Chains A and B, each alone.
Chain A
Amino acid sequence: MMVVWTLALNTFREAVRDRVLHSMVFFAVITVCASLVLKDITLGDQDKIVRSIAEGGIDLFASLIGMFLGISIIWKELEKKTIYTILSKPMPRWQFILGKYVGLNLTIWAEIALLSVMYVVLMLFQQDVPSPIFFVSMGLLVVELMLLTAWTTLFSTYSAPTTASAFTISIFIMGHLADDLWLLGSKSDSVFLEQVVHFIYWVVPNFELLSIRDLSVHEREIPWVQVWSAAGYGIVYSVVVLLLAVLLFNRKDIR
């Protein structure tokens, strides 16, 4: 496991020194802070507006960072040929994939932690205390991004960032519209279309299962059964996608 940890730390170190990441985190911070300004120009439950914008901002930027870093996570090593001196060391290839994946997720967790701390400070500034469901919601966001980055890692093992980003965005959108897809298929008159849409529903990840942001914004009770089953689903699904990435990468010739 030392090899995996070494590669993960190196990936994390490389990512946090990336200037594009700095810019994205900067904009994420601005968005979270902007919720304070926006609440003054809106009507209704202003606290809810703050929570909605801030949590939405954390979700959006964490997903963007996950996609941005993930689509080139393996490809960059192949393109820059840094992989030659890494894979010629005594380690199986699955450790390389896992190390890169863990490092990528460490970066995302650090970003989510930073923005969550900012959110808490913002709440305290508003003389409010964040509801416990916010932290559970962030936990599920972490699982959601584990799943998304498992897909980006898979795509990155055999395709360039442009193709990988097209695949990732498709998966991201379909994953968030999975329930609507099912409904669309069920209402279709064509049996073939229904079967195709239902097949897509079962194959693509259902990211909405992993989101309890609405409940968090409205500060509802924590739905523990949903949380645990969704977390289990996300983790098992991520492991399956990573296994697929390892299978593909094991057969790859490093040219």
Chain B
Amino acid sequence: MSDPAELDASEVDREGGELDPVETDGVAVEHDEAEARQETDGGERPKPHTIRLELIDEPGQLLNALQPIADNGGNLLSIFHERGNITPRGRIPVEVDLECPPDRFPAIVDALREEGINVIQADAERYGEELELLLIGHLVDTDLSDTLSRIEESTTASLADFSLSAPEGSDEVSSARVRLATRSNGAESALETVREIAAEKDLMVIEPLTEGSA
């Protein structure tokens, strides 16, 4: 089991299905390498991806969300429209499985975001963690858009959702809820950046309690 050639052979066999499993020498390894080269040269094979969206409960929203996928070379595999699982804000979670060449996947996610569609998760690896926090203070006076763009610029996080509440008017203390999508293990560094920006602008940050990591 510890022979690397043998491991290679079994992998190829699983994908291709045409190799004799007894063939554990250099032939199998060469075949494997040849296949990898071929993929890179001829455009990579489509790979499956999963995207989780939250849609507003209005006609046409699902269609709007699927169009950018098709436009950017994504091939839909399945759509799970979770009507029975509406979020507290009345959004409908939708899970889309699609297939596309790996290099086109980021373009699909970007296109969805440009359409204003709330992408909760785009493949577990890419946006492995979510970070939700509240900001409290003179958010408007301290240039809210600067705050948000600096959070996005100086971290690997992207702004997944945002809402502002300023019941006393924009001159008074207001609150914002910010949801950031970060890469796996990126939440802590994103949080650190948010703390720095908040300290500078005299804003209060209410951080999520991360159970199990304290």
Does A associate with B in a complex?
Answer: no
A interface residues (Cβ-Cβ under 8 A, vs B) = none
B interface residues (Cβ-Cβ under 8 A, vs A) = none
